Structures are given as C-alpha cells and as structure tokens.
Amino acid sequence: MISEQLVDLSRLQFAATAMYHFLFVPLTIGMTWILVIMESVYVMTGLPIYKDMTRFWGKLFGINFALGVTTGLTLEFQFGTNWAYYSHYVGDIFGAPLAIEGLMAFFLESTFIGLFFFGWNRLSRKQHLLVTLMMAVGTNLSALWILIANGWMQNPVGAAFSATTMRMEMVDFWAVVFNPDAQAKFVHTVSAGYVTGAMFVLSISAWYLLRGRDVAFAKRSFRIAAAFGLASALSVIVLGDESGYTIGEAQQTKMAAMEAMWETEPAPAGLKLIAGINEAEMKNDWEIEIPWVLGLIGTRSLDKQLPGIKEIIAHNRERVLSGIEAVKALDRVRSNPQDAAAKATLLEHQPDLGFGLLLRKYVTSMDEVTPELIDRAAADTIPRVTPLFWGFRLMVALGFAMAALFALALWYSIKGSFATKPWLLRWALWSLTMPWIACEMGWFVAEYGRQPWTIYGVLPTHLSVSTLSVESLYGSLAGFIGFYTLLLIVEMYLMVKFARQGPGSLGTGRYLNETAHA
Amino acid sequence: MIIDYPTLKLIWWLLVGVLLIGFAIMDGHDMGVGTLLPFVGKNDVERRVIINTVGPHWDGNQVWFVTGGGAIFAAWPLVYATAFSGFYWAMLAVLWALFFRPVGFDYRSKIDNPSWRSTWDWGLFVGGAVPPLIFGVAFGNLLQGVPFHFDNNLMSYYTGSFWGLLNPFALLCGVVSTAMITFHGAIYLMHRTEGDIYRRSRVAVMLFGALLLIGFSLAGVWLQWIPGYAISSVIDPAALPDPLAKQVVREAGAWMHNYQTQPATLAVPILAYLGIIAALLLAAKGRTLAAFVASSIGITGVIGTAGVSMFPFILPSSTAPNASLTVWDSVSSHLTLTIMFFATLIFMPIIIAYTSWAYKVMSGKVTAAYVRENSHSAY
C-alpha cells in the first residue's frame, strides 16, 4: 500500500515547484509580445528610443526568463521522478504534447532568444524584429502544447484503457489537440500572461514618472502597457467565462466546489458573491447571491440545471460500485488474459474503472471493500470547498481591479495627462503584484479543483506516485526549498537593481544613472 | 497505419539515439566549455570571452536535452517512469547541477564583483561537468542491469540505492562520458577563440582526447566480463507491449552477441575510434571546424556503441531479468509512435535549419575587444 504521507509530500513538492515555475512563465509570455510591439514601432519609425525600450525591457525579461528555464526543467524531470505510475499509465497520451512542445516551440523560443540578446549588431532591423517575433511565437506555442497536456488531465478525451498494456492509450490525436478544455485554458492563460507583462511595464514606468526621471522613455512604455493591458484584461475576463462554460460540461464537480453549491438548485442557478462555508455540515451558513448568473455562465441556458455537490456524490457512489466490478474484472484479466467473461465485465464497467481505483487508497483487494469505504470513496470525489471558493473569488476580484486600472490608464493616455496624475501612477505602482497573485490563484483552482484525480475520472492522485521512501521526499523537498529560496533572492535582487537603474543600464549615454556598470 | 509497429519500434530506438547524440553534440559542447571555464580562463576578460562563445546558443542547445526527455516520455513511457524514479537522487543531482546554467550565464556578468562572478564561474563548472558524469555513470549501470521489478499492475519498485550506482565500472563510464564532453567542448573553444585561450584549449583537447581513448578502450575490454542480458523466449515484435511476457537470461559476454551475429555493427565502435583520432589530429593541425565535425562523429560512435551492445535492451533489470525493458515491450502505442515519428520528421529539419542560421549569424572568433565593446549587453 502507498502511504498517504508519500502522496501528500509528492503533491506538496509538485505544487510548490509548479507554482514557483508559474511565477516566471506569465511574465515571459506577456513580455515577448510587448517587446514585439516596441520593436515594431522602432522598425517603423526608426526612433532609437524604441530600440532602447526593447533592449531595456528585454533585459528585465531576460532576468525573469533565466529562472523560467531553470524551474521548467524541474517539471519535466518530476513526472518521471515523482509520478512514475502516472507517467506509465498516461504517458502514451500525455507525453506526446510535451515532446511536440519541445520540437515545435521550445527550440524556437530558446534559439531565437539568444539572437534577440546578441544579434543587435549582426542583423538588419527587420531580421532582428523577425527574431523577436519568432521568440514570441515560440513562447506562446509552448504554452499551447503544455496546456493541451494539462487540458487532457482535466478532460481526458481521445483515449482508451488497455488491459494488456495496463495503461491509457491514444485513439484520437486530434481530439486531444482540439480538446475544448485545452483551448479554453490556452487562451485564458496566455491572456493572463499578457496582463502580467503589461502590469509589469505599467508599474515600473509609473515609478519612473512619479520620480520624474527618464520621462520620455517611461511615458512611451506606459502608453503601450496601458493599451496592451486593457485588451488583455478584457480577454482574460471574457475567455475566463468561456472556461467556466467548459468546466460546466466536463467538470461539474469543480464548478460545484468552486461555487460552494451543496444542493442542486433550480435553473438558472445564482452566483454566490460570498458565503459562510460549513464543510462539516455540507451547507453554507449564509450567502450573498446574484440570481441567474451562474446558470448562464455554466450552461449557457436558462433551463439546464447544474448539479450540486450532494447530487454529484450520490451519482459518483454508483460509479464507485460499478468501478469495483471493473477493478475486480481487471485483476482477473491480468492474472489470466484468456478469461473471456472477465474481459466482457471489464468492457462493460470500463468507464468507471477510475472510480474503482479510488478504493486502492484504502484496500489492496476489492474483496475487502465495505459500504463505509464506498461512501468514503464517493465523498473523496469532491475537493475541499473553502480554498477553491475563496481562491477563485480572489482571482476574479483581482482581474476586475486590473481591468479597471488599465481602462483608466488608457483613458488618460489618450487624453495625454496620465503623467501628471500621481494618484493614477501610484495606483499602477501598487498593483504590481496583482497579476502574480491572480495567476497563482488560477493555477491553484484548476489543479486543486481536479482532486482527487491526476486524470479526471481515470487515475486517482493517490495511485499516480513513484514508490519512493518518505525520507527521499523530505530530502528532495528540502533541496528544492533551499535552491529556490536562494534563486529567488538573487533574481529579485537583480530585477530590483536594474529596474531602479532604469534604461541607463544600457550604457547608451541617453539616460539617468549612466555611470553604473553593467 | 503507414508504418508497421515493429518497424516503428526500431525507428524509435534510432530516434531516441539521434536525440541523445544530438544532445551530446550540441548541449555537450557548451557543457564542455562550462567544465573548462575556471581552468582555461585565467582572468575575468578571458572568462567572459569563453562564456560568450556559447552565450547566444546554450539555451537552444539545452532544448536537445528537454526534447530528448520529452521524446523518451512519449515513446518509451515505462522507461521514462522507471529510470527517472529509480535513479531518483542521480536525476535530482543532474537537475540541480543544471540549475546553475541559465542563472550562471545570464546573471554572472550583470554585477561587477569578483566573488559574485567567481561563484557563478564555478556554478557553470558544476552545470557543465556533473550532468555528463552522471549520465556516464547511469549508462555504466544500465550495462550491468538495474535492481527494479514491477507488480502485476506495472507499478515499478526500485530496490537499489544511490551509492550502489557508484561502482567501479560505472565510474569508468562516467570518466569516459565526462572526457568525451570536455574534449568536444575544448575543440569548440579552439574554434571560437584565439591567443592564450586557444592554446590552453588545445592542451585540454590533447589531454581529454587521450583520456577518452584510454577510457573507452578499457570499458570495452571490461564489458567482455560483465554479465549481459539476452531474451531467451520467442519475441513477437508486433505484439502489444507487455514487459512481463518474456524470458531473459543473464550471461557473461551477452553484450557481445550483436557484434558476433551482425558483424556490420562493429562499424559503430570503429567509428568512435576514427572520429576521436581524426579530431585529435585535426585539432593538432589547427583545423578546428573539421575537428569539431570529427569529434561529433566520435560521440556518435561512443553512444552508438553503448546502444548497439545492449540492443534490444534499454533498461535491463538485475533483480527481475524478465521484467527488463526492451525496444519491443516498453514502448507507446502504434498510433502515438506514428504521430511522434511524423512530428519529429517535420520539425527536426526546421530546427537544424534555424539553429545553423543562428550559429552563422554569430560566427567568428570571440575576442577580448568584443567583450569590452559590448560590456553592457554581453554575458
């Protein structure tokens, strides 16, 4: 039996390293396009200040990118090191988008980033712009393939179980690629990255303006960030609503948990703004609700119902019962591949196999299963409500707050008076951390909300781990915490140093702080 | 499907080989440069010259490693799962060593402080020297078999320890691998530098080239006595992959079978010798680009020799030989192999084209004058 401690530590390590990686990814995704915009203006107008903007913001982008690469390696290793059974069980499907990501996207991004930094004097203006563009395309394609892989974990389409190979196998590649969950995730996630890039440039430019330094440089940067930021923030909200819809179809569980919807409500369900969640008694002590909205987002209709948590548990209990038959039949097939009766039973109950596997957390043989354990397995299919409910609301609130800021910033950019509005500049400066918090919350809601599964409905998290010792996990977790803390200190130190130094760090002779060496 | 399953299984053995060799040639030369950095560069300007020979390229090169890992995940999921979890601490050591590269390259010259820069120089040394050493040790262990088994649901259990990996034969393989990568990096450094750095790199080429020849020969002789593995039951290459369905025997000299039954395969170790010797001679004459091509051929021969000796085994099990992973029974489905084959076929030439263009744009000697002129933007 796999110990719960091993599973918890493996989850903690993956969550910590993935969320740490995701501190750097959104900024990379967003900054690449901002660099493309700035450099396009440079190529079109020939004004050197736009080249300086591309190079200076590119420098900060590079500091961030280095840690993105470093921490991304961890994730590629970690499926194998810590989630070996997962890698075996779904590698036939999950591995393909990861490998294609490398071939199609990561090579492109990483090769051209070298030329972006070192090619200024060796390429014509247009060639260099093309390099920057390829870097942006590579980065965004990279996100696409990673989210195709991740989308498949949420909504495992295009695959079937094989008892001979004891794993899931791909049956329809295009279904995996055009998985609606993956597509919705992709557009929502890259837009969130664009918002992060825009906020980064907006906040730091606002800081220069507040100090009245490098004004021409900062004003131009601010305007680009405001326009790009507003467009991105609006698409995050609209496309986030789109992922709400697909979740409604493929993952009603996550929706019910995120919304603390214990009972199935008459259609169209209301959206709770806030609520006092009582997980023990499976109810909300109080709630403030806007009628109709959730039903509209979740089902795009006025009459379709969204199931509540209690209804989902009751339904899943049936699936656990059927899953037990599937696991029993699978065990028979594994010991005797010629057993035709067992094969037929397996085929009949195969869609519920994953629900039977939930019981492997408690028993080794399905003969030991008791009604209490079946109830527990069914209850296990609902993730904890409180963190999802509040994590989701924090993300949404930040999203709207940022959209409002970008709208004002753009409005005053068009009027041309933003540089003389200290309240706006201060607001922009203080909002710097918002996109990171929102992105982390989004990631958390998506991944925690899928529990207890690594592959929704197919493979329980509990069964996905490598059979390592608990001591190994403590050791590696300590190592990651140590390395990542050090790296974060170094990265933040450099980022703050160069942001403070400003465009003078380029040594062009046109800006403040030119004496400092870099 | 267009290509039948047994052929695809073979193609994927070759393709994984191509990716590993691509990794050793491309990421290998910048790892070799990292290994040599603290020794060949005697002052800050020299070290910046050395770093800038690979500065624009190391990131793209590292993707050979990432893609190699991804391809093993996609094509041989059971190998990826079993090897990465079994070699847990070795893999983490590689990973943590690799941490030093992106930050070392990008952060080192951003602050003008000798101890800051020296710290990152040693970081780049670790990031360059440790991964090839551990990969060599890992190959040394593959050749001896690794202690793992599966339960009936194909969950893998590794019963060895990290220290058990550090046995004499495996360490010799580690030396071969490190010498090979450093040799290759030193040749690249000769090609891209001049003056003192060029001369010191030439010494390194001779030193590590000789070490590589001796180490590779010793390992070859030693291999005769190491018990190899052979499949004793009938294999059906077209069967659905099930690693528990075969019989395997362990016997001394089994790793020589392929050379005996298919003498043409002897071309692979011969290629290793020819490539290395040619690289040494060409480097001595100062024909550095040709020497780089020759050492790339040498690398192909060395890695190919390990692959051919073990074929069809990928990951033999010392404690449950029947559960050994082979090219026939630890692979992905027919459909996935087909898709991945075409993805590789389409994208690999494109990658090689733009990588070549990037090297062409940045070609020429990196000089002290270049570093001084670009002090604000160079590494």
CB contact under 8 A, A111 and B75: no
> Structure tokens of A41?
């203006």
**H helices present in B42-159, as ranges:** 44-54, 58-75, 77-86, 88-107, 114-144
Q: To the nearest whole number, what is the mean pLDDT of chain A?
A: 93
Rounded to 5 degrees, φ, ψ at B331 are -105, 170
Whose structure tokens read 């084209």? B353
Rounded to 5 degrees, φ, ψ at B109 are -90, 10
Q: Which of A401, A384, A387, A391 is nearest to A440 (CA)?
A: A391
Average pLDDT on B169-195 reads 97
For chain A, which residues score pLDDT lower than 70? 245-250, 515-518
Alpha carbon separation from B127 to A76, A516, B203 (Å, rounded): 17, 30, 22
DSSP-assigned letters across all residues of B137-202: HHHHHHHH-B-EEE-TT--EEE---TGGG--HHHHHHHHHHHHHHHHHHHHHHHHH--HHHHHHHH
Task: Establish if A498 touches chain B: CB-CB under 8 angstroms.
Answer: yes
Residue B27 reports pLDDT greater than 80: yes
Q: Which of A503, A480, A432, A495 is nearest to A53 (CA)?
A: A503
> Structure tokens of A452?
């207890």
- B245: number of Cβ within 10 Å: 16
Question: What is the DSSP code (8-state) at residue B317?
Answer: B
Amino acid identity, position B98: L
* Residue A83 domain flag: yes
Locate the domains of chain B by residue range: 5-226+333-373
- Report the pLDDT value the prediction gives residue A247, as an integer from 0 to 100: 62
- Report the pLDDT value the prediction gives residue A517, as an integer from 0 to 100: 46
Residue pair A362/A377 in contact by the 8 Å Cβ criterion: yes
Task: Establish if A500 touches chain B: CB-CB under 8 angstroms.
Answer: no
* Residue A491 domain flag: yes
Query: What element of type H or E holds B18?
Result: helix B5-40
Residue pair A501/A518 in contact by the 8 Å Cβ criterion: yes
Query: What element of type H or E holds A81?
Result: helix A48-82
**H helices present in A172-300, as ranges:** 173-177, 180-210, 215-250, 252-258, 293-299
Alpha carbon separation from A248 to A26, A395, A454, A468, B327 (Å, rounded): 26, 18, 19, 37, 42
DSSP, collapsed to helix, strand or coil, labels residue A287 as strand
User: Which tens digit of pLDDT belongs to each residue from A358-374?
Assistant: 999 999 889 999 999 99
* Residue A303 domain flag: no
Write b or e for each residue in B45-69: b if 16 or more Cβ atoms lie within 10 A of its Cβ, otherwise e. ebbbbbbbbbbbbbbbbbbbbbbbb
* CB contacts, 8 Å: A86 with chain B: 81
- Report the pLDDT value the prediction gives residue A248, as an integer from 0 to 100: 59
Q: Are strands A159-162 and A167-170 parallel, antiparallel or unpaired?
A: antiparallel
Of A76, A331, A517, the CB nearest to B70: A76
- Report the pLDDT value the prediction gives residue A518, as an integer from 0 to 100: 42
Average pLDDT on B266-284 reads 97
CB–CB contacts below 8 A, A to B:
255
- Identify the closest residue of chain B to A94 by CA–CA distance: B74
CB contact under 8 A, A117 and B377: yes
Q: To the nearest whole number, what is the mean pLDDT of chain B?
A: 95
Interface of A with B in 68-127 (CB under 8 A): 69-70, 72-74, 76-77, 79-82, 84-88, 91-96, 98-104, 106-108, 110-115, 117-123
* CB contacts, 8 Å: A171 with chain B: 335
User: Which tens digit of pLDDT belongs to each residue from A56-89?
Assistant: 999 999 999 999 999 999 998 999 999 999 999 9
| Residues ≥6 apart with Cβ < 8 Å to A286 | A275, A276
| Residues ≥6 apart with Cβ < 8 Å to B10 | B327
Secondary structure of A348-416 in the HEC alphabet? HHHHHHHHHHHHHHCCCCHHHCCHHHHHHHHHHCCCCHHHHHHHHHHHHHHHHHHHHHHHHHHHHHHHC
Q: Are strands B248-252 and A459-460 parallel, antiparallel or unpaired?
A: unpaired
How many angstroms separate the CA atoms of B201 and B188, rounded? 9
How far is C-alpha B96 from the chain's CA centre?
A: 17
CB contact under 8 A, A115 and B362: yes
> Structure tokens of B282?
């060409």
Give the count of domains, chain A: 1
Whose structure tokens read 């998290």? A461
- The four Cα atoms A83, A88, A94, A95 give a dihedral, to 10 degrees, of 100
User: Which tens digit of pLDDT belongs to each residue from B35-59?
Assistant: 999 999 999 999 999 999 999 999 9
Task: Establish if B352 touches chain A: CB-CB under 8 angstroms.
Answer: no
Query: What element of type H or E holds B326?
Result: strand B325-326
| Residues ≥6 apart with Cβ < 8 Å to A15 | A447
Average pLDDT on B78-94 reads 96
| Residues ≥6 apart with Cβ < 8 Å to B80 | A79, A80, A87, A91, A95, B69, B72, B73
Interface of B with A in 45-84 (CB under 8 A): 55-60, 62-63, 66-67, 69-71, 73-75, 77-78, 80-84
3-state helix, strand, coil in chain B (%, to 5): 75, 5, 20
Smallest CA–CA separation between A230 and chain B, in Å? 32
How many angstroms separate the CA atoms of A444 and A457, rounded? 19
